[in-house]
Chain A
Amino acid sequence: MPDDHQDQLDEIYAAALKLDPAQRTAFVRQACSTNGLREEIESLLDDAERLGSFLEKPAIDALSMTGRSLIGVMLGPYKVEALLGAGGMGMVYRARDTRLGRAVAIKQASGEFSGRFLAEARAVAALNHPHVCTLYDIGPNYLVMELLEGQTLDRRLRIGPLPVDQIVRSGIEIVNALAAAHARGIIHRDLKPGNIMMTAAGVKVLDFGLAKLMPLAAAAVAGMDAPTASIQQAPRTDPGTVVGTVAYMSPEQARGEELDGRSDLFTLGIVLYEMATGKRPFEGSSNAVTFEAILNRPVPPARELNPKVPERLDEIIHKALEKDRALRYQHASDLLADLKRLERDSASTQQALAPRKTRRLWIAIAATAVLLALAGFWIWSQRERFSPPPRIAREQQLTRNVPENRHLGFDISPDGQRLLYVDMLGLHLRRIDTGETHDVPLPQELRARLWNVMYFPDGERILLLTGDSAEPAQLWTTSIFGEPPRKIRAHVRQAAISPDGASIAFLNFECNEIWVMGPNGENAKKILSSENDRFYSPVWSPDSRRLAYIKAKPNYLRFEEGLGGSIETVDLERGAREGVLSAPNLLAARESARLAWLADGRVLFNLRDDMAPGGSYSSWNLWGVGINPRTGKASGKPQKITNWSGDLPWQPRASRNGTRLAVNKGRFRNNIYLAELRGNSVRLDTPSQFTASDSLDRPYSWTIDSQSLIFSSDRTGTKLLYKQHLGRTSAEMLTPPENLSDRCAATPDGNWILYHSIVTTGKAGPSSIRWMRMPVAGGPPERVLDFSAGPEWDWDCSRSSRGICVVGRLEKEHAIFYPLDPLHGLGKALASTEWPAGAGFSLAVSPDGSLISIRSDRQIRFLDWRKGTERTIQIPAGWWIFQFEFSADGKAVICAAQAVSFFLARIELDGSTHILLDRGRSQSLAPALPSPDGRYLAFGQLTFESNVWLLENF
C-alpha cells in the first residue's frame, strides 16, 4: 500500500471522526478521491462505532486481580465474596454461608475429589480443636473451612526468627493440635510453615491429612511471583536451585516409607528450628542434596545461629529431629510436656532477669567521611564545595525486609519506642529496642488494601489509609489492639493528625484541595484549593495551629512531576499563607513526598543533590528548615541533615519530642559474582560473590592476564574505577577517569584502559565521541581521538594479546569497521556489511581479532574481515540480549539476556545455545564477562531494597 494512500486515509478518517456522525458520510464522500478509499474509511468508521472502551483502560488494570471480580459467584450455598490468596492447592476465597450468615474460607481444587479423599476429609471434619482450622463442609471440588484472620508462619518467618517465648507458646499449640489429630488416627503428613496460621487466638494448623490427597493444581496457581516459585521454574542448570517442601520431609518420608505420628513430630522439629533461627535445618542446592541432609547430616545447634535460643529448647528440637524414629519423641504428648516445662521455667527466670538489651547497630555517618578521605582529596574537595557538612545523625536500620516484601508505609510511635509498619504481608508493630514484632490484627480484606498508617497522639489509636482500584483511598481508624476498623472518609490521598489529636488534615484524591476535619471524620472543612497547583504532604505545626505543605505545578510530562516545588505554611485561623522555600530539586511526588514538622520547629523535606559528583543513581537527602512559630516563615537557612548517596529517602516520621525520626530508604545494589566455566565452557559452577558492598558495582573488563577484574563502584559515594585481583577481597582504586561514559576495556597490548566520553555541542545534543586511554598501572588519562559518531556506533576490544580494538559506525545502511589503537587512533576501514538503520548496533571482537560480530535485536552477524566472509545466525525467538562478548575460545559469544527470566547463555557460531545460569525474574544479570583465559565468567546482579531506618541526633 503506497504511503500517500495511507496518509490520506489516516487524515480523512481522523477528520471524519471529529464530526458529528450524521455529517460523516457526506464528508467522506466529498473528501475521498476514489471509491476504494471511501469504502475503506466507511468501514473503519463503522468499526470505530463498535470499539467501545477497547484498550482505553491500561493493560495493567485489565490484568489486575483485586478479587473484586469474583463477588457474587455461588458455590452451593456459599456466596463467594473475595479472593483471599492462592496456595499450592488452588485459590482460596472468602465466602458467606448463606444459610448461617457465617463467613468461611473456601479452598478450591482443580478437579473433583476422589472417594478416598472424601473419606479422609470426613474424618478431618470431625476434628474439632482450638488450634486446628476447622473443616466445615466438603463440596464436589472444594473445601469449606473456618475463616482465619492472620498470617502464615511462612510469611512471618520472612521477617526473621520469632522471639523465644512465642516459639514455645506456638510450639505448644501446634503439638496440642497434633496430639488431638493423632489420637483420632489422623496424620498431618505435610506440616510446614505455610500450613500454620498465626492468628490473634494463637496458632491454627491447616490442611490436616489433606494436602497429599488433594488433586493438585499444577505448579501452584499463584506461585508465579513468589521468589521460590520462580526459582523452581528455573531450568536445572542453576546450581543454586532450592526446592520447596522437600525441606520439611522426615527421613522416613524421604525414603518413601509408611508415615506415622512420629513423622509429624520430626517435621515439627524442623519448624521449631526455623522459628528459632529463621533458617531451615536441611537445605541443599538440589532435592538430592536436601534428601541427603535429612537422612544423614546432623543439625547444628540453633544457638549457633541465634544466641537467644535457650539450651533446653535446642535439646527439645534435637530430640524431635532424631533421624531414627525409634529414638525420637514417641508421642506428641511427650514433646508437649517438655515444651510446657520449658515455658514454666523460662517464665520464672524472665521475671528475675532485667529487661534484655539486644545489640544495637549504630552506624555513624562519619564512616562515610572516612571513606571519602580514602578516595582522595579531589573528591573530598568537590564534596566540600557542593554540600555543606551535615549535622551528625545517628542511624539504625529498623526493618530488614527482602526486596520482594517491600514495606509500604509506617509511623513511629509518639514516645519513639515503637515502629508501626505496613508491608506486603500486613501491619506489624515492632519494639525498637528489642526488635520484638507482632502483627496488628486486621480484617483480611482491609489488610490487603492497606498502604499507610499513622499514630494518634495517644499512641494507641491509629489511622489507616487503604485503597484499590475499586475504592481508592479510604481513611479508617482502629487501634494497635486491632479494634474493628471504622471508615471515616473516602477519597483521601494523604492525611496528617494534629499533635493535639483534635484534627486530621487531608488531601483530596486529586491533590488540589487541603481539608481539615475532626478525629472521627466530622466537621470536614476545606482549607485550600487550587485550579492550577497540586498540594502534597500536609503536616501540622507543633502547636497544631498551622499546616505546612508542598505546592507544585502539575506537569503532563510526568517525569517532571515529582521534582520541583515550594514549601508553604497556612495559618488555620486566619487563612494566611506564607512561602518557606522553593527549590527545583525538591521531592514533590504524589506518593513519595512527605514533610515532617519537628517539635523544635524545623520542617524536614527531601532534596536531590544535583551537584553531587558521582553516585550511580541520583542521591536524595533530608534537609531541615526552621519555621518561625509566629509568622510561619523560614527562620534560617535550610541545613542538610543526612549525607546519603544513592538512596531515595521518603516519609520522615518523627516522635512527639522530635528526637527520633523514622525514614524509609530505598536503594539499588549491584554486586559482582564470579563462576568457573566448565565442560568446554558450556556449564558454570556455583557462582561466588566477588564484591560485596552496599554499592553499585559494575564489571567492565578483565585485565588481559585474567588475573584481575576492572569494575566501577560508587562505594565511596562517587563512581570510580577499581581493579581487584581474583584472589583478593579488596580492590585497588584506579586513577579517576574523566567523563567516563558507559564503557571501558583493557586493550590487547595489556598496557591501557580505553574508554569513551560523549562530547556535546550545546543544547541540541550530540555529539562527538572522545576516546581516552589511561595506563593500567596507574596514571592520568590522555586523549586518543575525537570521532564524529553518526547515528549508530559501538566499539569493543579483543580480550587477548593477539587481538585488536574495533570501532563500528553506521554509514548509509552499512556498518563500517575501523581498527582503534590506543596510541595511534583510528586506522583504515577493515570491513563493511550491509546493515539496516534502527535494527540495533552492538559490536564484539573475537580474541584473535579475526572475527567482528555485529548484533541487532534479531540476529548476530560474524565477519571474518581477513577472508572477507560473513555468516549470520538468528537469535532465539523471545530472547532479549542486553550485552554480549566473545568467549575465550572465540567459538561462541557469551550473552546476558532475558526471555521470561534473566539468564546468561553461550551462543555458538552455528547458532546453537547453552544456558549457563538462570536467576529468575526479579534479579537481573548483566553484564557477563568471560575471562581471557576462559576459566571464569564475571557478572553483575542487581537488586532493589527499601527499609526503614531510625535517625537520632539530627
Chain B
Amino acid sequence: MKFHEHSSRGEVTELLLAWGAGRHSALDQLVPLIYPELRRLAHSYMRGERPDHTLQTAAVINEAYLRLVDCARVQWRDRAHFLAVSAQLMRRVLVDYARSRQYQKRGAGERPVPVDAALDLHRTRGRELVKLDDALSALAKLHPRKAQVVEMRFFGGLTIEESAEALGVSRDTVIRDWQIARVWLHRALEGRGQHA
C-alpha cells in the first residue's frame, strides 16, 4: 500500500481520483470545473467564430483535459471517466444551446417570413436535437450503455476506440450498440418509437 508519491495533485485530478475511489459526489464537483470552458469553446465554434479544426468536439475535450488534469497521476480508468463526463457535458452544452434557440423562436411569436427560410434550417436542426435528446433519455432507461455510446460518439465526438476505452468494452460491442441505437433513435424521431 502506498500513497501517491506527491503531496498534492491538481484539483480535477484529485476529484478524478476520489471518484475512481468511490466518492461519487466528486463527479458532481468536476462539472463546474470543466463545463464553462467546454461551453465557451463550443459556443464560439457554433457561432463560426473559430475554425473547426481547432475546435472539433474531441479537441475541445482534449484541450480541457490538458489544462485540467495531471495526466501523469491519473490511471487509465480515471481518464476514461473524464472522457465520459466531458461527453455528458457536451451533450448538455449543445442541447441547452438548441433549446434556447427554440425558446427565442417561440418568444418571438412571429410568423415565418421568407428571409427566415435558411435560418429555419438551423432552427429545425436545433429542434431535432432537442427531440433527439429526449429520445436518448428514453433509450437510456432501456439500454443505458447504448445511450452512453451515442452520448460519447454524437455529442462527445469520440471515436469508436475512445468510446470503447471509456466504457471498458470491446470495439465490436461499441459498433453494435451504435448501430442499434441509431436505428432505435431514428424510429423514435419518426414517431415510431418502439423498442429495438
Q: Which A residues lie at the B interface, using CB under 8 A? A: 1, 6, 9-11, 13-14, 17, 40, 44, 47-48, 50-51, 54-55, 58-67, 69-70, 73, 75, 80, 83, 91, 93, 106, 108, 110-112, 140-142, 215, 217-219, 221-222, 224-225, 403-404, 406, 408, 424, 448-449, 451, 466-469, 472-473, 493, 509, 556-563, 585, 587, 589-592, 608, 610-611, 613-618, 648, 666, 668, 696, 698, 718-719, 736, 738-743, 757-763, 765-769, 789-794, 840-843, 855, 880-883, 896, 898, 900, 902, 921-927, 942-944
- Centre residue among A50, A64, A509 by max chain B CB count within 10 A: A64
Query: How far apart are A506's CB and chain B's nearest CB, in angstroms?
Result: 14
In the complex, chain B residues whose CB is within 8 Å of the CB of A215: 110
- Interface membership of B10, Cβ < 8 A: yes
Indicate if the CB atoms of B62 and A561 lie closer than 8 Å. Answer: yes
What 1/0 mask marks residues of chain B from 59 to 98 whose CB sits below 8 Å from any chain A CB? 1011101111111100101010011000000111010111
Report the Cα distance A80→B191, complex, angstroms: 35
In the complex, chain B residues whose CB is within 8 Å of the CB of A765: 20-21, 75, 77
Of B35, B54, B77, B122, which one neighbours A591 at CB under 8 angstroms? B54
What 1/0 mask marks residues of chain B from 151 to 163 whose CB sits below 8 Å from any chain A CB? 0011101110110
Q: Given that A219-B104, A922-B36 are known contacts, is A613 also in contact with B29, CB under 8 Å in the complex?
A: no
Q: Which B residues lie at the A interface, using CB under 8 A? A: 1-4, 6-8, 10-15, 17-18, 20-26, 28-29, 31-33, 35-37, 39-40, 42-59, 61-63, 65-72, 75, 77, 79, 82-83, 90-92, 94, 96-101, 104, 107-111, 113-119, 121-122, 125-126, 129, 143, 150, 153-155, 157-159, 161-162, 165, 172, 175-177, 179-180, 182-183, 185-187, 195-196
Indicate if the CB atoms of A739 and B7 lie closer than 8 Å. Answer: yes
Given contacts A14-B176, A587-B66, could you give 8 more A-B pairs where the C-beta distance is less than 8 Å? A468-B51, A562-B62, A742-B11, A757-B3, A759-B3, A840-B25, A902-B36, A944-B37
Of B37, B59, B107, B113, which one neighbours A219 at CB under 8 angstroms? B107
In the complex, chain A residues whose CB is within 8 Å of the CB of B56: 58, 60
In the complex, chain B residues whose CB is within 8 Å of the CB of A65: 46-48, 122
Indicate if the CB atoms of B51 and A466 lie closer than 8 Å. Answer: yes
Indicate if the CB atoms of B32 and A58 lie closer than 8 Å. Answer: no
Report the Cα distance A561→B94, complex, angstroms: 25
Report the Cα distance A563→B58, complex, angstroms: 15
In the complex, chain A residues whose CB is within 8 Å of the CB of B183: 44, 47-48, 51
Indicate if the CB atoms of B94 and A63 lie closer than 8 Å. Answer: yes
In the A-B complex, list the 4 residue pairs whose CB atoms are closest, starting with the nearest. Answer: A467-B51, A924-B32, A842-B25, A218-B107
Query: How far apart are B59's CB and chain A's nearest CB, in angstroms?
Result: 7
Kindly report which residue of chain A lies nearest to residue B20, judged by CB atoms: A765
Kindly report which residue of chain B lies nearest to residue A49, judged by CB atoms: B183
Q: Given that A55-B185, A896-B32 are known contacts, is A921 also in contact with B39, CB under 8 Å in the complex?
A: yes
Query: How far apart are B67's CB and chain A's nearest CB, in angstroms?
Result: 5
A-B contact pairs, 17 of them (CB 8 A): A1-B195, A54-B182, A60-B57, A63-B125, A70-B119, A141-B115, A219-B104, A424-B50, A448-B49, A585-B72, A617-B12, A618-B70, A740-B8, A741-B23, A742-B18, A758-B4, A760-B21
Indicate if the CB atoms of B50 and A592 lie closer than 8 Å. Answer: no
Report the Cα distance A907→B69, complex, angstroms: 33
In the complex, chain B residues whose CB is within 8 Å of the CB of A11: 176
Indicate if the CB atoms of A75 and B115 lie closer than 8 Å. Answer: yes
- Centre residue among A13, A225, A404 by max chain B CB count within 10 A: A225
Query: How far apart are B65's CB and chain A's nearest CB, in angstroms?
Result: 5
In the complex, chain A residues whose CB is within 8 Å of the CB of B3: 738-739, 757, 759-760
Q: Given that A51-B182, A924-B35 are known contacts, is A224 also in contact with B100, CB under 8 Å in the complex?
A: yes
Query: How far apart are A945's CB and chain B's nearest CB, in angstroms?
Result: 11
In the complex, chain A residues whose CB is within 8 Å of the CB of B96: 900, 921
Q: Given that A1-B195, A69-B122, A794-B23 are known contacts, is A589 also in contact with B66, CB under 8 Å in the complex?
A: yes
In the complex, chain A residues whose CB is within 8 Å of the CB of B129: 59, 62-63
Of B44, B53, B63, B82, which one neighbours A424 at CB under 8 angstroms? B44
Of A73, A472, A563, which one neighbours B71 at CB under 8 angstroms? A563
Indicate if the CB atoms of B72 and A840 lie closer than 8 Å. Answer: no
Query: How far apart are B60's CB and chain A's nearest CB, in angstroms?
Result: 8
In the complex, chain A residues whose CB is within 8 Å of the CB of B118: 69-70, 73, 80
Indicate if the CB atoms of A766 and B59 lie closer than 8 Å. Answer: no
Report the Cα distance A916→B76, complex, angstroms: 39
Number of A-B residue pairs, CB cutoff 8 Å, is 352
Indicate if the CB atoms of A942 and B32 lie closer than 8 Å. Answer: yes
Query: How far apart are B36's CB and chain A's nearest CB, in angstroms?
Result: 5
Report the Cα distance A215→B108, complex, angstroms: 10
Indicate if the CB atoms of B94 and A218 lie closer than 8 Å. Answer: no
- Centre residue among B32, B33, B82 by max chain A CB count within 10 A: B32
Indicate if the CB atoms of A110 and B22 lie closer than 8 Å. Answer: no
Indicate if the CB atoms of B18 and A900 lie closer than 8 Å. Answer: no
Report the Cα distance A558→B60, complex, angstroms: 11
Query: How far apart are A300's CB and chain B's nearest CB, in angstroms?
Result: 34
In the complex, chain B residues whose CB is within 8 Å of the CB of A589: 62-63, 66
Indicate if the CB atoms of B179 and A17 lie closer than 8 Å. Answer: yes
Report the Cα distance A11→B180, complex, angstroms: 10
Kindly report which residue of chain A lies nearest to residue B77, judged by CB atoms: A765
Report the Cα distance A62→B33, complex, angstroms: 26
In the complex, chain B residues whose CB is within 8 Å of the CB of A882: 28-29, 31-32
Of B1, B94, B104, which one neighbours A759 at CB under 8 angstroms? B1
Q: Given that A63-B126, A882-B29 are known contacts, is A613 also in contact with B8, CB under 8 Å in the complex?
A: yes
Kindly report which residue of chain B lies nearest to residue A880, judged by CB atoms: B31
Indicate if the CB atoms of A924 and B36 lie closer than 8 Å. Answer: yes
Indicate if the CB atoms of A558 and B47 lie closer than 8 Å. Answer: no
Kindly report which residue of chain B lies nearest to residue A837, judged by CB atoms: B24
Kindly report which residue of chain B lies nearest to residue A616, judged by CB atoms: B11
Indicate if the CB atoms of B28 and A881 lie closer than 8 Å. Answer: yes
Of B22, B25, B52, which one neighbours A789 at CB under 8 angstroms? B22
Kindly report which residue of chain A lies nearest to residue B119, judged by CB atoms: A91
In the complex, chain B residues whose CB is within 8 Å of the CB of A944: 36-37, 40
Of A14, A83, A111, A222, which one neighbours B110 at CB under 8 angstroms? A111
Query: How far apart are B38's CB and chain A's nearest CB, in angstroms?
Result: 11
Indicate if the CB atoms of A63 and B97 lie closer than 8 Å. Answer: yes
Q: Given that A719-B8, A841-B25 are known contacts, is A942 also in contact with B119, CB under 8 Å in the complex?
A: no
Report the Cα distance A51→B180, complex, angstroms: 11
Of B46, B110, B176, which one neighbours A60 at CB under 8 angstroms? B46
In the complex, chain A residues whose CB is within 8 Å of the CB of B32: 882, 896, 898, 902, 924-926, 942
Query: How far apart are A929's CB and chain B's nearest CB, in angstroms?
Result: 13
Kindly report which residue of chain A lies nearest to residue B43, judged by CB atoms: A225
Report the Cα distance A696→B21, complex, angstroms: 24
Indicate if the CB atoms of B172 and A14 lie closer than 8 Å. Answer: yes
In the complex, chain A residues whose CB is within 8 Å of the CB of B125: 62-63
Report the Cα distance A142→B183, complex, angstroms: 42
In the complex, chain B residues whose CB is within 8 Å of the CB of A648: 66-67
In the complex, chain A residues whose CB is within 8 Å of the CB of B71: 559-560, 563, 608, 618
